[in-house]
Amino acid sequence: MSFFERWLVNSPFRARLQRGEVDAFIRWARPTAGDAVLDMGCGPGTGSALIWERLRPRLVAAFDFDPAMVALAERRLRRSGIDANVRLLVADATHMPFADSSFDAAFESGVLHHVPDWQAALREMGRVLKGGGRFWFAEPSKGRLTRGLYRFLPHAVESTFDVEEWRAALSEAGLQVEEPLRRLPLWDICGVATKRA
């Protein structure tokens, strides 16, 4: 990520938008307090903290590829006094360090358009979710990345996708999309996919 994008991800502007995203996760994916929830590519941990605060699930596990982001998330959770409630780790979305069928629900916001082998990350998501588990996602399409604020944020072409490529990769990963897909302010590919039993 560029310096500007890192700054944006850590800004109050992003934290405000994430509140709406976590609300949408709770409304659309309907996680329950008994669930084990995964936050993939958690960045500075804003979403992980909100998931804990809003839902109090049995477990929140959160990971990011970038140790500096995980350090920021650690500080953020400690400041809020909830560091014992979120299991944080440095890990790669394409090789998740979790056993098969570990999670009931997963949340990811703006991560996979940074991952060149995003299809492998979706396969990993299909592996770590339980049958019937819900995957909530929010991503920008190839087209969206050429407009507005995104024009100032460089992205590698190989990690971008359009909505049909996204649908096809979810299906190959054993994840059934709940139609219709939706939109949020930053993202035009949003929704829930359920792991086939």
Ligand X SMILES: C[S@@+](CC[C@H](N)C(=O)[O-])C[C@H]1O[C@@H](n2cnc3c(N)ncnc32)[C@H](O)[C@@H]1O
Interacting residues with ligand X (CB under 6 A): 1, 9, 14, 18, 41-43, 46-47, 64-66, 69, 92-94, 109-111, 114-115
Closest CA to 29 of 189, 177, 174: 177
Nearest approach, Cβ of 24 to ligand X (angstroms)?
A: 12
Q: Which is nearer to ligand X, 50 or 193 (CB)?
A: 50
Range 36-71 burial, b when 16+ CB lie within 10 A, else e: bbbbbbbbbbbbbbbbbeebebebbbbbbbeeebbe
Nearest approach, Cβ of 159 to ligand X (angstroms)?
A: 9
Nearest approach, Cβ of 141 to ligand X (angstroms)?
A: 15
Q: Which is nearer to ligand X, 76 or 134 (CB)?
A: 76
Q: Which is nearer to ligand X, 43 or 57 (CB)?
A: 43
Q: Which residues does residue 39 pair with via DSSP β-bridges, in sequence order? A: 62, 107
Q: Which is nearer to ligand X, 85 or 159 (CB)?
A: 159
Nearest approach, Cβ of 44 to ligand X (angstroms)?
A: 7
Q: Which residues does residue 103 pair with via DSSP β-bridges, in sequence order? A: 129
Q: Which is nearer to ligand X, 9 or 61 (CB)?
A: 9
Closest CA to 17 of 153, 191, 183, 194: 183
Nearest approach, Cβ of 197 to ligand X (angstroms)?
A: 27
Which residue is at the shortest CB distance from ligand X?
Answer: 43
How far apart, in whole angstroms, are the C-alpha atoms of residue 102 and residue 55?
18
Nearest approach, Cβ of 47 to ligand X (angstroms)?
A: 6
Measured CA to CA in angstroms, residue 40 lies from 33, 90, 138, 151 at distances of 19, 10, 12, 25
Q: Which is nearer to ligand X, 102 or 176 (CB)?
A: 102
Measured CA to CA in angstroms, residue 187 lies from 21, 97, 101 at distances of 10, 27, 28
